[in-house]
Each structure stands twice: as C-alpha cells, then as structure tokens.
C-alpha cells in the first residue's frame, strides 16, 4: 500500500512541470498585445510652454497677460509706460531660442521702453517645430532603418506653391503624416494669430501708435506679418539683429522692399555674414526707393552686456522719437 502511494506521488510530480510550462504560452498573446501600447512615447511640451511656466512663477503677476490666439492661450508680459501721456505700445517678438523675457535683448528692452514713454508687450512665440506629431510606436521604431531616404527627402526647403503641391500629393491618404511645408504653414499661422491678439490688446489700451519690434527670427515674423496682413493701425517696424528662420521664405531683403511702413533696421556689424545680409536689405530698400527705411550698424559688446543693452536702447529710443508714424499718416 505504501509503495502504491509513493508511485502515485511520483506521477503527480512528473506531470506538474509540464502543466507549469504550458501556462506562459497561454498568457503570451495578452503580453504581445500590450507591447505596442507600452512602447508609445508621449509628446513632450514645447520649450516655449515650459519657459512661460517658469516666467509665471518668477515674475510679478501684474505683468502677466494671458492672451487668446484661436484655440491657444499664451503668456505675454505687459508693462505700462511711466508717463502720463504714453506715445504708444511696442510689441516685442523674441527670437526662436528666446522667451518673452530673454536676456539677449527682449527682456532689457521691455523694461527700459516704459521709461521712454512707451507701453511694452512681450510675446511668447511657439516653437518652430512645436506642431503635434503622431505617437511613435514599436512598429514605427522597427521601421526606422528604412526611413533614411525619407528623412533626406523631407529636409526643409524654400517655400513655394509648387513645393506645397508636391508635398501634399506625396502624402498617402489617411496616413496622418505631416509634411515640412505643412509644418511651416502651421507654425506661421500660429505666430500670426499671436501677433493679431497682441495688436488687439494694444488697441484695448488705446495706444496712439503701435510698433512691432522683432529680435533675431522675431524680426522676420514682424516683417512677414506687416507684409502679408498690412494692418492700417501698425505703421512701424523695428528689426534688431534680424535673421531668417531655417527653411522659411521669402528672404528678409525681399520683404523689406515691399514694406510701406517706417522701418528701423539695427544690426551688429562684427560678423561678415551679418554685414552681408544687412547690405542686401539696404540695397533692396534703395531699389524700392523706400523713404522711411533707416539702417543702423552697431558694435557688439559681448564682454559688457549691460553697456550693449544700453547702446541698443538709446538707438531705438532715438528712432522712436524721430521717425515714428501714426496710423493714417
């Protein structure tokens, strides 16, 4: 009897490992089904949004204005003029790598301009590559080695109507892919909407004159806005160290030749590329016989930024005193 019991126990022990080995196979389909979801990479917030959140915590709440541009709200920094009868409002557009209180130029200028009798309104602009992208899954990651030629072909190029037609036609129906042309158009639309919102806010403050001031690539967006929208109530443009954003068109010298507004073009003459770009803008203004275009060369002082900022402020203040145009003039 005891021998029989030991035999049964041995049979049970031998059969159990086989059953245990089969259990993972039954669970495998569920694990494989969950794998793509686990590998999805969520979108990161735009740098401009993170910068704005930092400014909200650091700066006086009275300076902060949340403006609405379509479906988006964005941070703008407002300082009223320190005089009884303000001359108007200066709307400041930062460069791509600069925030609404950037130390390179926008921050110092927005604080100094109220002492010259001007309201200042500094904007948060969206990131150039901030438009939404589809989630990346394990399937797309596996297919990545096959996309080398696609990456080369989709590098940013100069904008044109023909390029847009080709890009849109090349997208498979329902693929959800975003072409470089669509990215640029979406970004331009977001920037224009924010400038619209800023001008509307300046009008609410009953600004006698409105000036668009752009630093770096912000100068391009200020000039492009005035070239495309041609608002009657904005007749003044200030460009500081103007740059063309990568992949965008037309170049600044072409836009400058089409502007009928009073324009102050301030650039640093230390680099040969900056001098050449400024010369092209000056030559374009002469060919177009623009009477209200003035170009001012300055020397950069990287070893003493406080002096450099004061130099820039004094030059801009002089232009605002002598060359400002009001709506209808």
54-69 pLDDT, tens digit per residue, is: 999 999 999 999 999 9
DSSP 263-274: EEEEEE-SSHHH
Which has the higher per-residue pLDDT, 1 or 300? 300
Q: How confident is the model at residue 178 (pLDDT cuts 50, 70, 90)?
A: confident
The string of pLDDT tens digits covering residues 185-242 is 999 999 999 999 999 999 999 999 999 999 999 999 999 999 999 999 999 999 999 9
Rounded average pLDDT over 114-124: 98
Q: Where are the alpha helices (DSSP H) in 210-266?
A: 217-229, 252-256
pLDDT category at 9 given cuts 50, 70, 90 is low
Of the two residues 218 and 167, the one the predictor is more confident about is 218
48 vs 172: which has the higher pLDDT: 48
Q: What is the rounded CA–CA span in Å between residue 224 and residue 188?
A: 9
For the chain, the structural domain boundaries read: 48-129+194-322
CA distance 142 to 12: 45
Q: Domain 48-129+194-322: give its CATH code.
A: 3.40.50.1820
Query: What is the predicted pLDDT for the residue at 218?
Result: 98
180-204 helix and 217-229 helix, angle to the nearest 10 degrees: 80
Q: What percent of the chain has pLDDT over 90?
A: 67
pTM: 0.75
User: Rounded to the nearest 10 degrees, what angle do helices 180-204 and 161-170 cross at?
Assistant: 120
Q: How do residues 246-257 score in pLDDT, each as one tens digit?
A: 999 999 999 999
pLDDT of residue 7: 55
DSSP 8-state secondary structure symbol assigned to residue 307: H
More confident residue, 173 or 318: 318
Give me the pLDDT at residue 14, please.
53
Using alpha carbons, list the distances in angstroms from residue 125 to 96, 198, 208, 229, 230: 8, 11, 25, 18, 20
157 preceded by a cis bond (ω within 30 of 0): no
Say if strands 118-123 and 210-215 run parallel, antiparallel, or are unpaired: unpaired
Residue 25 pLDDT > 80:
no
Torsion angle of C-alpha atoms 116, 119, 124, 128, degrees rounded to 10? -70
Inter-CA distances, 26 with 14, 17, 23, 29, 223, Å: 21, 15, 5, 7, 65
Comparing 142 with 130, the larger pLDDT belongs to 130
Contact yes or no for 253/283 (Cβ under 8 A) = yes
């Amino acid at each position: 009897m005891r021998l029989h019991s030991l035999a049964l126990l041995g049979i049970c022990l031998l059969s159990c490992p086989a059953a245990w080995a089969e259990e993972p196979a039954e669970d495998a389909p569920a694990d494989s089904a969950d794998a793509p979801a686990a590998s999805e990479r969520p979108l990161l917030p735009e740098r401009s949004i993170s910068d704005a959140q930092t400014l909200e915590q650091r700066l006086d709440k009275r300076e902060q204005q949340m403006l609405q541009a379509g479906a988006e709200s964005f941070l703008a920094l407002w300082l009223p003029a320190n005089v009884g009868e303000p001359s108007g409002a200066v709307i400041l557009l930062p460069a791509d790598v600069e925030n609404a209180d950037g130390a390179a130029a926008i921050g110092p200028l927005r604080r100094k301009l109220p002492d010259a009798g001007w309201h200042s309104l500094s904007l948060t602009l969206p990131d150039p590559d901030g438009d939404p992208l589809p989630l990346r899954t394990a399937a797309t990651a596996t297919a990545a080695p096959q996309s080398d030629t696609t990456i080369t072909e989709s590098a940013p190029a100069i904008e044109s109507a023909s390029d847009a037609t080709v890009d849109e036609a090349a997208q498979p129906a329902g693929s959800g892919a975003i072409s470089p042309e669509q990215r640029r158009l979406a970004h331009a639309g977001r920037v224009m909407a924010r400038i619209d919102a800023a001008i509307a806010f300046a009008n609410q403050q009953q600004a006698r004159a409105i000036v668009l001031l752009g630093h770096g690539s912000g100068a391009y967006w200020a000039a492009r806005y005035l070239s495309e929208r041609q608002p009657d109530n904005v007749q003044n443009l200030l460009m500081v160290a103007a740059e063309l954003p990568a992949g965008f068109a037309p170049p600044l010298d072409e836009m400058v030749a089409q502007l009928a507004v009073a324009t102050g073009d301030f650039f640093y003459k230390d680099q040969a590329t900056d001098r050449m770009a400024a010369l092209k803008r000056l030559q374009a203004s002469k060919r177009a016989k623009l009477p209200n275009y003035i170009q001012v060369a300055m020397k950069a002082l990287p070893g003493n930024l406080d002096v450099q900022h004061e130099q820039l402020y004094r030059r801009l203040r002089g232009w605002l005193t002598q060359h400002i145009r009001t709506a209808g003039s």
